[in-house]
Amino acid sequence: MTDPGHEHYRHLLGAYVLGGLDPADRAAVDAHAADCAACRRELAEFSVVPSLLATAEVPREDSPATERPSVALRETLRAVTAARAAQRRRRVAATAGLASAALAAGIALGFVAHPADRPGAPATDRAIALTTASGTSGGTIDLTSKPWGTELHLTLRDLPAGQRLTAMVLGPDGQAEPAATWTTPSVSPIRVTGAVSLRTDTVHRIEIRTDNGTPVAVATG
């Protein structure tokens, strides 16, 4: 039977991914998502909405129609805006302008933020250092266990600017899941939020890959 509160939690998913919920609401969404496959799927999709907000550019008049926001994205951002408005009334969220900025920019997917832009960071169960292909520090990845899998918070630096990159999470048996996709801006460091269905204790390796599958940074541990 469908949870009568399903729509309420569904409208909180966008704010959940953006870190705009208080601990009690986050816990309630976690508990609901543990039993709701539809919300788990939406969380996996929304996890990359955090990757392009800070890198969005105003669309040019000659931009092709394929660059316009999809219906799903517009619905997602409207849901985020509504959830944030509710949170502001409860004096919780301080991130009200992000969704409207995303709509104006016409971005397609993902969320990249500067370190100071992220509200309070959730508790971390594991932290893994990231090493670039040249052997330098590429940042860190914080893993947080969730009932539906693992939430990732990546702090990235010295990655190829202007490239579309994907965080690929690998389990010990070779299972691989993409956690987030973004286009790296010229600023550094940046923060990216992602999610996978793998349990935190089964995450064996995380690779930051280009579109052709070449790793530009790797985290193990």
Helices 37-46, 71-89: axis angle to 10 degrees equals 100
Q: Position 218: which residue type?
A: V
What the block records as the tokens of 7 is 């729509």
Interatomic CA distance for residues 201 and 65, integer angstroms: 43
Looking at the fold, whether 12 and 46 belong to one and the same domain comes out as: yes
Looking at the fold, whether 78 and 151 belong to one and the same domain comes out as: no
Non-local (6+) Cβ contacts of 212 within 8 A are none
> Which structural domain, as residue segments, surrounds residue 211?
121-220
Mean pLDDT of all residues belonging to the chain: 74
Segment (H or E) for 220? strand 215-220
In three-state secondary structure terms, 206 is strand
Last residue of a domain, one of 110, 145, 178: 110
pTM for the full predicted model: 0.50
DSSP state of 96: T
Looking at the fold, whether 106 and 198 belong to one and the same domain comes out as: no
pLDDT tens track of the chain, all 221 residues? 456 677 787 778 777 777 767 788 888 888 888 888 888 877 776 665 655 454 444 444 444 444 454 555 556 566 655 655 555 554 433 333 444 444 344 333 344 444 434 445 556 788 999 999 999 999 999 999 999 999 999 999 999 999 999 999 999 888 899 999 999 998 889 999 999 999 999 999 999 999 999 999 999 87
pLDDT tens per residue across span 77-130: 666 556 555 555 544 333 334 444 443 443 333 444 444 344 455 567 889 999
> In angstroms, how far apart are the furthest CA atoms of the chain?
53
